[in-house]
């Protein structure tokens, strides 16, 4: 089955048709800069532009940086507050003319990694964290997703964890890879004490440079880089739409 997957991010909105049986993109992805302030209508217009670029008429899955319940955005951490309470399913479906399915962006990336990437075949507890503007999270047990976790907002050293261990925090504080690894290690140890997972998967844009910081971690639980990199959110969004059929 071919489904258009779209990943709405803080800096860019990306999309491509996905073969949900293989997890492969069947066309080169399109990336458009996220509109300033990331308000509902401008973001929806970009999503529609991507759909038109592929002349898309079928299902669309959309990964979105917020907890999603019944197609409604429940909070807004790195996007406009105007999204809170907005039925994003209806907004995107109306502007694209297609059947749209929403999913939290980190959940989407996790679905992709569990199906076609670093989590494939893992039957224990797996936690994926996406390190970017903030920290996204997805937790799986025996391959099943517990949706809408927001582990980036747990307290760490008196602040939200994403203010200390996200890639944006690394860049903001101009941390060396060694110092950043210490911060990430503290965060993962907190997660270990809460959930005792069998595997951590690290995704997000920073995962492309995993060799610079993952070997510096001292946590006992295995930590591996995501395999699908920037395509994970697109693939997982398409998988989420397929599950809604």
Helix axis angle, 232-243 to 105-116, nearest 10° = 90
Beta strands 135-141 and 223-225, pairing class: unpaired
Cα–Cα distance for residue pair 103/19, rounded to 1 Å: 18
Give the closest residue to 109 by CA, choosing from 243, 234, 241: 234
Give pLDDT, residue 234. Answer: 97
Burial of 169 (0-12, 13-18, 19+ CB in 10 A): buried
pLDDT digits (tens, 9 = 90+) for 108-143: 999 999 999 999 999 899 999 999 888 999 999 999
**Chain centre distance of CA 119:** 15
Give pLDDT, residue 245. Answer: 60
Give the residue carrying structure tokens 């105007």. 82
Q: Is the pLDDT confidence value at 11 over 90?
A: no
Which SS3 state, helix, strand or coil, does residue 130 take? strand
Give pLDDT, residue 158. Answer: 94
CA angle 53, 28, 10 (to 5 degrees): 75
Kindly calculate the radius of gyration of the chain based on its CA atoms and give it in whole angstroms: 17
Q: Where are the beta strands (DSSP E) in the chain?
A: 2-8, 12-19, 24-25, 30-33, 60-64, 68-69, 72-73, 100-104, 125-131, 135-141, 144-146, 155-156, 159-160, 199-203, 223-225
**pLDDT tier for residue 197 given thresholds of 50, 70 and 90:** very high
Cα–Cα distance for residue pair 203/207, rounded to 1 Å: 5
Mean model confidence pLDDT for the chain = 95
Which SS3 state, helix, strand or coil, does residue 134 take? coil
Which has the higher per-residue pLDDT, 244 or 30?
30
What CATH topology corresponds to 2-105+231-243? Nucleotidyltransferase; domain 5 (3.30.420)
- What are the sequence ranges of the domains in the chain? 2-105+231-243, 118-227
**pLDDT tier for residue 92 given thresholds of 50, 70 and 90:** very high
Cα–Cα distance for residue pair 162/9, rounded to 1 Å: 16
Pick the CATH number of 118-227 from 3.30.420.40, 3.90.1170.50, 3.20.19.10, 3.40.50.720: 3.30.420.40
pLDDT digits (tens, 9 = 90+) for 14-23: 999 999 999 9
Report the predicted TM-score, pTM, of the whole model to 2 decimal places.
Answer: 0.93
User: In which element (H, E) is residue 58 found?
Assistant: none
- Please state, for a pLDDT cut of 90, what percent of the chain lies above it: 91
Beta strands 24-25 and 12-19, pairing class: antiparallel
pLDDT digits (tens, 9 = 90+) for 128-187: 999 988 899 999 999 999 999 999 999 998 999 999 999 999 999 999 999 999 999 999
Q: Is the pLDDT confidence value at 221 over 70?
A: yes
Identical fold between 2-105+231-243 and 118-227: yes
């Amino acid at each position: 089955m071919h489904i258009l997957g779209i990943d709405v991010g803080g800096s860019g909105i990306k999309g491509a048709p996905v073969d949900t049986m293989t997890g492969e993109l069947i066309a080169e992805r399109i990336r458009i800069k996220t509109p300033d302030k990331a308000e509902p209508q401008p973001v929806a217009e970009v999503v529609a532009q991507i759909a038109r670029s592929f002349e898309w008429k079928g299902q669309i899955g959309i990964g979105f940086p917020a907890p999603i319940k019944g197609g409604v955005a429940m909070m807004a951490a790195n996007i406009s507050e105007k999204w809170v309470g907005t039925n994003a399913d209806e907004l995107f479906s109306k502007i694209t003319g297609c059947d749209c399915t929403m999913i939290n962006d980190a959940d989407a990336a996790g679905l992709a990694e569990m199906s076609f990437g670093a989590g494939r075949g893992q039957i224990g507890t797996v936690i994926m964290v996406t390190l970017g503007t903030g920290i996204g999270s997805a937790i799986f047990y025996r391959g099943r997703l517990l949706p809408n976790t927001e582990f980036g907002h747990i307290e760490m050293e008196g602040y939200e964890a994403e203010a200390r261990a996200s890639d944006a925090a690394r860049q903001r504080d101009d941390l060396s890879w060694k110092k950043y690894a210490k911060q990430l290690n503290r965060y993962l140890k907190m997660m270990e004490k809460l959930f005792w997972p069998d595997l951590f998967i690290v995704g997000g844009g920073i995962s492309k440079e995993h060799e610079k910081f993952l070997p510096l971690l001292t946590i006992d639980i295995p930590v591996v880089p995501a395999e699908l990199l920037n395509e994970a959110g697109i693939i997982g969004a398409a998988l989420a739409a397929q599950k809604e059929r």
